[in-house]
A and B are shown apart, each in its own frame.
Chain A
Amino acid sequence: MSGIFCIQKFLAHSSNFSDIVHASMKAKIIITPKKAVVDPQGKTVQGALEQMGYKGVTSVHVGKYIEIDLAPGTDKAAAQKALNDAAHKFLSNPIIEDYKLEIE
């Protein structure tokens, strides 16, 4: 099942909202099925692309994209560590999926 998760946290006691928006950070997590796991959804999409005439597609993998908004002032290294932990334990299943985490 694909989906986008947006978790927004705002500073409760901040006086300047525009500063918060400006300083906010976003984590992006892309989850894909491991190559060893059969991905019938990817194969079906690939078949449809070929049928539509798109040439040169060698494989398609359908995964998930998760977007997480982080509170302004969050320490990037600490967030990286915490989200890697969450991605490994919860957001992805390491038995069947790989993930890539980016914080910007």
Chain B
Amino acid sequence: MNFAVLQFPASNCDQDVIHAFGNVLGHSARYVWHKENSLGDADAVIVPGGFSYGDYLRCGAIARFSPVMQAVKQFADNGGLVIGICNGFQVLTEAGLLPGALVRNRDLQFHCEHIFLKTATHDSPFTNKIPAGKILRIPIAHGEGCFYADKETLDSLVAHRQVLWQYCDAKGNLTDTANPNGSLLNIAGICNERRNVAGLMPHPERASEPLLGSDDGRSVLESMIHSLQSKQAATVA
């Protein structure tokens, strides 16, 4: 599979994503500079973490107007898989590809730590290979990760099972103390209604091999690979 990893000025997790998909999982992963108008032969797009455009104005607000984002929107409209990690999640909400917004952590602190995640549904291209009942231990590193949406949007997210991951304690309880940033409903990641675009604040690519202290994030990346391979097999058949 070919993974396109976007690069904005001040993206800083792009190399981690390339390493995880390329070296760890053995697929083809390449950078796509934000001024490009095309994604080439990409099977999936990763919008990586970082501080695109210095987080000026609002996180992700300027990156969403980069030329490459037009191509990403087109790709998503055609059903292509897109995942935004951390700043990438912020870019996708700003671009309107995902609902809601990410605001300052409720304690105003930048959180850089491992957290626990509960997978709310396995019915998505981003969660299908996560073992049932498995609580994922994955790092976060953000100052603006508090998920906010109005009540109507939240109700719709729940009704359409678009909440993919929620912050929990080590036993899987969705407690307030396990919520690192004040996100509504402990939301750590969501997908769109069509289920082909997802975003999450935690970094699965930073937990893709035991050397990194956890390989729990690997199943998120493997879910995407599995989903693409199944789609490819169905097309060939």
- Using a CB–CB cutoff of 8 Å, the interface residues on chain A facing chain B are 1, 3, 5, 33, 36-38, 40-41, 44, 64, 90-91, 93, 95-96
Contact = CB atoms under 8 A, between A and B. Distances in A.
Interface string B161-205: 000000000000000000000100000000000000000000000
B150 A38 contact: no
Given A40-B105, A41-B104, A95 B148 contact: yes
A46 to B, nearest CB: 13
A53 to B, nearest CB: 23
B108 interface: yes
14 contacts: A3-B57, A37-B103, A37-B148, A40-B105, A40-B106, A44-B108, A90-B57, A90-B61, A90-B65, A93-B61, A95-B93, A95-B100, A95-B148, A95-B150
A1 B57 contact: yes
Contact of A36 (B57, B107, B150): B150
A35 B56 CA distance: 22
B111 interface: no
- The winner among B57, B65, B105, B108 for most chain A CB atoms within 10 A is B57
Nearest to B102: A96
A96 B57 contact: no
User: Mostly helix, strand, loop or mixed at chain A's interface?
Assistant: loop
A93 B98 CA distance: 14
A41 B108 contact: yes
Nearest to A96: B101
A90 B94 CA distance: 9
A40 B107 contact: yes
Nearest to B60: A93
Contacts of A95: 93, 100-101, 148-150
Contacts of A93: 58, 61, 94, 101
B146 interface: yes
Given A3-B57, A90-B65, A93-B94, A40 B104 contact: yes
Interface in B73-108: 93-94, 100-101, 103-108
B215 interface: no
A38 B106 contact: yes
B182 A1 contact: no
A44 B108 CA distance: 9
Sorted from nearest, which 4 A-B pairs have the closest CB atoms? Answer: A95-B101, A96-B101, A40-B106, A40-B108
Given A38-B106, A38-B148, A40-B107, 19 more contacts: A1-B55, A1-B57, A3-B56, A5-B57, A36-B150, A37-B148, A38-B146, A40-B105, A40-B182, A41-B104, A90-B61, A91-B57, A93-B58, A93-B61, A95-B93, A95-B148, A95-B149, A95-B150, A96-B101
